[in-house]
Amino acid sequence: MLVFTLKRLLASIPTLFAVLTVIFVLVRIVPGDPALAVLGDSASEEVIQEFRKSIGIDKPLWEQYLVFMGDVLQGNLGLSMATGKTVVEEVSNVLPYTLELTVASIIIGVVFGIPLGIFSAIYRNHFFDYLARMVSLLGLSFPAFYISILFMIYLSVEWDWFPVFSEYIPWSDPLTRLYHLALPALSLGVIMIGYVARTSRSSMLEVLGEDYIRTAKSKGLPRNMVVFKHGFRNALIPILTLTGLYLGLLMGNSVLTEIVFNRPGLGGLIVGSLESRDYTMLQGLIVTYAFFIVLANLITDISYGLVDPRVKNND
């Protein structure tokens, strides 16, 4: 298992390189001169040149590329054009908020979505199945910000159960922080429940029709053993893959949720840097997202090895 994990780890390095290269190119083909954006139209030629030099975009592209890669590998994402602080500092101030939001909603999605989907498959076309499918359809069809707003109107404003706006809470006060996390995490979690439940249901239905389930039945095993020991573990394999994929979706949706709840996080930074055309900040944010998506894929890959013996042994 250790060897397998190391191999996967090594395999994700080229992916990360490729992603960084794409980001480098993307940022540079976006139209608009960052210098003009920051300094305004009226800036003199001299000032503009000075500025271009200060952020290194006067050099040839290949040199910019090497510098960019070198910096990123050393954990240096440059200075924010808007605030003058380092991007790393700005990002790491709010990153924990976004991470706890995504992790919490994944947990909500998995903890409720998997059982919902699995039982929905077992009781296919019974009342429970229809109910569960309705619930997951709700999660699937409402956009994140809409659910956020609904929750906010009812749970915060009307009934006053949760705070309307979140703010910076130090970790030294974990309960308050959790309290502020609850509503945003729930509104993202509902979406995850929808996706995870749908995947779990279809994957379990497929597995229950497999030949080895018939074999298990022919052994006279009790129904629970057939369904959970023989069915569930196999159904988990596609559930894991798709949950890994949904992480990307979740990060996108978290931006909107953070904005609706006025929650500190990457979402606020993105909007801010778009408004001020803070080009280094934007680049740094994309790198951060890319890093976490590659990380999520890595975790998905490794968890495969835990569930599916074929993956571990073939490598």
Site of interaction with other proteins (CB under 8 A):
210-212, 214-223, 225, 229-230, 233-234, 307-310, 313-314
DSSP state of 79: B
Q: How far is the CB of 257 from other proteins (least distance, A)?
A: 36
Nearer to other proteins, 226 or 270 (CB): 226
Closer Cβ to other proteins, 85 or 214, answer by number: 214
CA dist., res. 302 & res. 2, Å (int)? 10
Token pair of 273 as six digits: 């840097």
Q: Would you say 3 or 29 has its CB closer to other proteins?
A: 3
Taking the complex as a whole, the smallest distance from the CB of residue 4 to other proteins amounts, in Å, to: 15
The smaller minimum CB distance to other proteins, of residues 221 and 290, is found at 221
Task: Tell me whether residue 35 or residue 235 sits nearer to other proteins (CB atom).
Answer: 235
Provide, rounded to whole angstroms, the least separation between the CB of residue 306 and other proteins.
10
Q: Which residues pair with 68 in a beta bridge?
A: none
Residues in the chain: 315
* In the complex, least distance from residue 222 CB atom to other proteins, rounded to whole angstroms: 6
- Least CB distance to other proteins at residue 162 (A): 41
Q: How far apart are CA 266 and CA 282, in angstroms?
A: 10
H runs (alpha helix) in the chain: 2-29, 34-39, 45-54, 61-73, 87-122, 127-141, 144-151, 174-208, 211-218, 223-224, 233-260, 266-275, 279-307, 309-314
Specify the residue, 100 or 210, whose C-beta has the smaller distance to other proteins. 210
Considering the complex, what minimum distance in angstroms separates the CB of residue 130 from other proteins? Answer: 17
For the four alpha carbons of 193, 197, 199 and 203, in that order, the dihedral sign comes to positive
Give the phi and the psi of residue 143 in degrees, each rounded to 5: -70, 155
User: Backbone dihedral region of 112: left (phi > 0), alpha (psi from -120 to 50 degrees) or beta?
Assistant: alpha
